[in-house]
Amino acid sequence: MPKGGVMSTVATPPARDSRRPSRVRSALWPARYVPWSGRADRIDVVLMGAFLGVVAFGLAIRPLKPFLLASHPELLGLLTGDLIPIGAGAAFARVGDASLWLVIVTGAVGMVKFDWLMWWAGRRWGVGIIRMFTTPERAQHAADRATALDPRILRLLVAVSFLPGIPSPVAHATAGLAGMRLRTFLLLDLVGALVMTGLVAGLGYGLGQRAVDVVLMIDRYATLVTLTLISLTLLLPMVKRWITRVPRSRPPWRGR
């Protein structure tokens, strides 16, 4: 308080709204797919680059799936986390050509190996990462429910996130948003994956030789299937461009 009893006021600049996307960010990337607030720092860029790297990794190993399915199903399960190589590896274990425990463990690790990124995104970006999978209103509603959710229910949600019908990315991001510890998340995630791979491996082990015959048939035609898919991938854009260039026939003009 200055002398004379008159309080001096100092004008302060208005606070910056960190939720408003910058012009550069809006021009380079759709606003819906920008989960962070304000300007991105190095951690945001690294995390988003990791997600893009996971997508590129999945596309790179896709042509190898038919070949690895019959020769190295454990390796394929570790690389992709798919259920098909787990069942195929268990079938090979039934006839003595693979180790059942190795099929289950590598399959479970393959299913959870990148899930920590989504947990980190939930911890880092909060409702922003959930907004990428749904509308902003539903994302905010999910974030509000996550913070008020019983921790026991949240742990159960993470453990059963591999079941069909449950959006596992949203469940993993919600765990990070709600403040679940990383080691707790990893443990629950791995337990759920082991249960799922165990069920699928049990089915493949029960089928035995019949499942092996199907896998060997797929392997026999793997080269043909792969070349066909590559050819279709290259030809479809050319066919679409050719169709758009062909002028449409106009109906004859009819006078009254």
Q: What does the pLDDT read at residue 183?
A: 94
Q: Is the confidence at residue 229, as pLDDT, over 80?
A: no
Cα atoms in the Cβ-side hemisphere of radius 13 Å centred on 203: 11
What pTM, to 2 d.p., does this model score? 0.67
Nearest in space to 68 (alpha carbons), one of 55, 54, 57, 80: 80
Q: What does the pLDDT read at residue 16?
A: 40
Mean pLDDT for 133-143 is 67
Q: Is the confidence at residue 128, as pLDDT, over 90?
A: no
Q: What does the pLDDT read at residue 166?
A: 78
Query: With DSSP H G I counted as helix, E B as strand and the rest as coil, what are the percentages for the chain, rounded to 5?
Result: 70, 0, 30
What percentage of residues in the chain have a pLDDT greater than 90? 22
Q: What does the pLDDT read at residue 194?
A: 94
- What confidence tier does 69 reach under pLDDT thresholds 50, 70, 90? confident
Mean pLDDT for 136-152 is 71
Q: Please say whether the beta carbons of 107 and 85 come within 8 A.
A: yes
Q: What does the pLDDT read at residue 90?
A: 85
pLDDT tens-digit map of 73-99: 899 999 998 888 888 888 888 877 778
Average pLDDT over the chain, rounded to an integer: 75
What the block records as the tokens of 84 is: 């098909």
- What confidence tier does 186 reach under pLDDT thresholds 50, 70, 90? very high
Nearest in space to 149 (alpha carbons), one of 139, 160, 157, 161: 157
Mean pLDDT for 123-133 is 80
